[in-house]
Amino acid sequence: MCSADCLVLLSDVDGLYESDPAVDAGAQLIGVVQEIGPELEAIAGSSSTEYGTGGMITKLAAARICMPAGCATVIANGHRERPLTAIEDGAPCTWFIPSTTPQIARKRWIAGTLKPRGALVIDAGARRSLAGGRSLLPVGVTGVEGQFERGDAVFVRGPDGRDLGRGLVAYSSEEVRKIRGRRSEETARILGYSVRDEVIHRDNLVLDDQTR
């Protein structure tokens, strides 16, 4: 949710092995994992020792959550001196490589998971600005539909009523109704406070053509 780039999990072993290194002296370290499948889960959960039942299998579960979110995961030995520096210097470890970036994953989450609570209607100038990669400012909003709170997802609609995308709003529907069509610097005077200049920041906005 914080769009992290990397999760570091420190263990008492160097990473994920093909078998339990506590009972198999010849166990081989798996250096890179591109996908977590049943075979890998079987390796992590096949042991009756801590390696399988509580340690490695839970780390694998964490990596499974992070990878689709664009967050790399590394399992490394935490008993080394300066373990993070050791990872940077190439110490043995296991890297789980995501197939996307945190930014793209966040956009997919906004576009495909969250249920919009309302809609903002914008003018032609704002539509051009959004197409150019800019944020949605109050001055470009001409209408507010529904009831929503700060942080909720809403539809963004053009002057013709067509849905252009979705985004997370920085203001509630009541607040946007008060500041719509006004310049950002007027927000503090109208509301008595200002959360931010944008109604929807570009990082929290997904246009329909970005999801295709």
So what's the pLDDT on residue 22? 79
Pairing assessment for the beta strands 6-11 and 72-77 based on DSSP bridges = parallel
Determine the length of the chain. Answer: 212
So what's the pLDDT on residue 172? 97
Q: pLDDT by residue (tens digit) across 66-113?
A: 998 889 999 999 999 999 999 999 999 999 999 888 888 888 888 887
pTM (whole model) above 0.85:
no
* Class of 6-100 in CATH: alpha beta
Is residue 46 predicted with pLDDT exceeding 70?
Answer: no
**C-alpha–C-alpha distance, residues 78 and 52, integer Å:** 18
For the residues 200-208, what does the mean pLDDT come to?
93
Architecture of domain 107-210: Roll (2.30)
Q: Give pairs for 138-141: CB < 8 Å, separation 24+.
A: 138/176, 138/179, 138/180, 138/181, 138/182, 138/183, 138/184, 138/186, 138/187, 138/199, 139/181, 139/182, 139/183, 139/184, 141/176, 141/179, 141/180, 141/181, 141/199
Give ranges for CATH 3.40.1160.10 in the chain: 6-100
